Amino acid sequence: MITIGFLADYPQTVPTLASWFRDQWPDYYAEMSQEEMEQGFLSDFARDRLPSRLVAFESNKLAGTIVLRQQGTETLPEFQPELGGLYVVESHRGHGIATELVRAGMNLALDQGYETVFATTVVAAGILERLGWEFLKTVIHRDGEISLYRCKLGGQSNTADSNLPWPLA
């Protein structure tokens, strides 16, 4: 069973998240200490404002994360807010966790009053497209190309019946 909650409710997961990110993107985090990385995650503790990080658990084991933030890519400041930092640990991949994290991030954006949310990705295009996101363009960023996507959330409340392009989890 997959459950998703706010990082603020699971502060004990911060060291693990920092380790996962360092292992996944060693060049990006090479200049940061473990403490600095953990402080970065602690800044994502909000529930009702940005940045707000969610964590996923599968069978009560930490499995992944995503963050809704004002701006993720400094070269694309006009595309905000952004869902980013999507990560699922390898042992839990292929179980639908990334999809559920994206859905939860979309719902969080909608709950915070956003009508549109953006994302950049190298590997999650299939998930975004299955959930109704629109490809906007390919962007050169740091060491390579990333794809920029937009999702129009419709400005409807999470609690109301609606014809959203994704099922509300």
What is the per-residue pLDDT across 140-157, written as a single tens digit (0 to 9) for each? 877 789 999 999 997 544
Averaged pLDDT in 10-residue chunks for the chain of 169 residues? 97 98 92 95 94 97 97 75 96 97 97 95 95 94 86 63 40
Q: Which CATH number fits domain 2-152: 2.10.260.10, 3.30.70.120, 1.20.120.140, 3.40.630.30?
A: 3.40.630.30
**How many angstroms separate the CA atoms of 27 and 151, rounded?**
30
For the chain, give every domain's residue range.
Answer: 2-152
What is the per-residue pLDDT across 13-31, written as a single tens digit (0 to 9) for each? 999 999 999 999 998 899 9
User: Cβ atoms within 10 A of the Cβ of 114, count?
Assistant: 18
